[in-house]
Amino acid sequence: MAENEITTWIREKVTAEVIIAFVLGVFLGLVVLGWRVWPVKWTNTDPADLKPSQKEGYVQMIADSYALTGNSEVALARLEALKRPGEEDADLASMLDALVKARLEAGKADEAIRLQELSSAAILPTPTTAKATPAAPVGAAGRPVLRVVGIAFFLLLLGAGVVLLLMQLQKREAVRRRRPLPVEQPFAKAPQAEREGIAPPSPESSLGQFATTYSLGEEGYDMSYSIEAPAGEFLGECGISALEEVSVGEPGQVSAFEVWLFDKEDVRTETKALMSERAFGDEALRDKLANKGTLVQAEQGKVVTLETANLRLDATIDELDYEGVSNAVFARLTTTLEILRR
C-alpha cells in the first residue's frame, strides 16, 4: 500500500468524532471503571507493602514473639520480609530505634525493652550508621500496578486501532487490484485498453485520465487513483466512491456517489456528490449530504469540476442507467476522471 494512500485514508477516516470517542473511551475505561467502579484490591500481600503504622505494629509483634520463643532465625526472617526493594538492614535499625523511643515516651518500657532485645538479636547496625530513607506515602504500593493497568489498556486500544487500520487498508488494496490503470500509450495503439475501460490520454496539459464503471450490486465501490507528474513526482490523489449509507432504495443500492480530489499542496480535500434524479429532489437526502460539498444531479454527458490549489479534476459522466422507472437507484454509471494542472 502506497504511503500517499495511507495518508489520504487517515485524512478521511480519522475525524474529530473518532478522536473524541478515543479520549472518552480512555477516560471511562481507566478513570471511571479502573479507579472508581472496579479499583484494584490488594489481598495476600507481603509485609513490605503494609502502611508505616501497620509496620510498627507488625514489628512489635515480632519483638513479642521473640521474647517468648527466643528464636532469632524466625525473628530475623520476619524482619527481612518487611524490607522494601532497595532498603537495607540500616533502615530496619532506624525504624526499631524510632519505635523504642516512641514506646519509652509513651511509658511502655516493657515493649521498648523487647524491641531493643530484638534489635540486638538481629545484629542490625547501630542507628547512627543507618541511612535516612523517606517513608513511602500511603497507597504508593498500588500506584505501579495502576500504571501497568493503564498502559495495558492503552496498548489494547492502540492494537484495536491498528487492526482496524489494516483491515481498511486491505479492503482498499483489494479494490485497487480490480480498478483500471492509467494508459501510457496513445489510445489508437491500445485497442485492448479500450476494451478494458481505460480512457485515452488527453492533450499534453493533462496529467492523466481514469475511467471506471459502477454496476448495480457491486459492493464496496471505492476507486482511488494516484496523481503524478511526468517525472514521477507525487502530486495528490483523486477518486469516486459509492455513498451506500445514503439510499432511497433497498439496502445496498446506491443513490449517490462522492467525487473527490486531494492535492498535497492544499490542506483541503475537495468533494462533490453525484446524486440520482430522485435523490437530488429529496430535501432530506440533500441535507444529509450537505457536508459533501456541491450536490450535483447526475446526467449523461455532464462534466463535474473540482479545483484545488494546483490541480483540477473534470469528472465526465459517460454512461448513466437507472434501475427501474423511479430514477432513484443507479444500475450503471461510467465516469472518466481527467486531471489537469491549474
User: What's the whole-number mean pLDDT along residues 333-338?
Assistant: 95
Give residue-wise pLDDT tens across range 111-143: 888 888 887 776 565 554 434 444 444 444 455
What's the chain's average pLDDT?
A: 76
Instruction: Pick 153 or 329 by higher pLDDT.
Output: 329
The grid coordinates listed for 340 are: 489537469
pLDDT of residue 109 exceeding 80? yes
Give residue-wise pLDDT tens across range 135-186: 444 444 455 676 777 777 777 877 777 777 667 666 655 555 544 444 443 4
Q: First-to-last CA distance in the chain?
A: 28
The grid coordinates listed for 272 are: 462533490
Give residue-wise pLDDT tens across range 67-91: 888 888 888 888 788 777 777 777 7
Listed residue (219, 193, 234, 200) closest to 336, CA to CA = 200
Q: Of 80-94, 104-118, 260-274, which range is least confident?
A: 80-94
Instruction: Pick 278 or 70 by higher pLDDT.
Output: 278
CA dist., res. 10 & res. 249, Å (int): 30
CA dist., res. 108 & res. 197, Å (int): 99
pLDDT of residue 243 exceeding 90? no
Instruction: Pick 65 or 33 by higher pLDDT.
Output: 65
Rg (C-alpha) for the chain, rounded Å, is 37
**pLDDT tier at 196, thresholds 50, 70, 90:** very low
pLDDT of residue 197: 47
Instruction: Pick 273 or 169 by higher pLDDT.
Output: 273
User: What's the whole-number mean pLDDT along residues 94-109?
Assistant: 85
**pLDDT tier at 60, thresholds 50, 70, 90:** confident
Domain range list for the chain: 3-42+143-176, 47-140, 186-341
**pLDDT tier at 213, thresholds 50, 70, 90:** very high
Query: What is the torsional sign of CA 137, 138, 141, 146?
Result: negative
* Residue 214 contacts residue 197 (beta carbons within 8 Å): no
Concatenated DSSP letters for 194-239?
A: HHTTPPPP--TTEEEEEEEEEETT-TT-EEEEEEE-TTS-EEEEEE
Q: Of 121-135, 178-192, 197-211, 314-328, which range is least confident?
A: 178-192
| Percent above pLDDT 90 for the chain | 21
pLDDT of residue 98: 85
pLDDT of residue 230 exceeding 60? yes
DSSP H or E run through 191: helix 191-195
pLDDT of residue 201 exceeding 50? no
pTM for the model stands at: 0.43
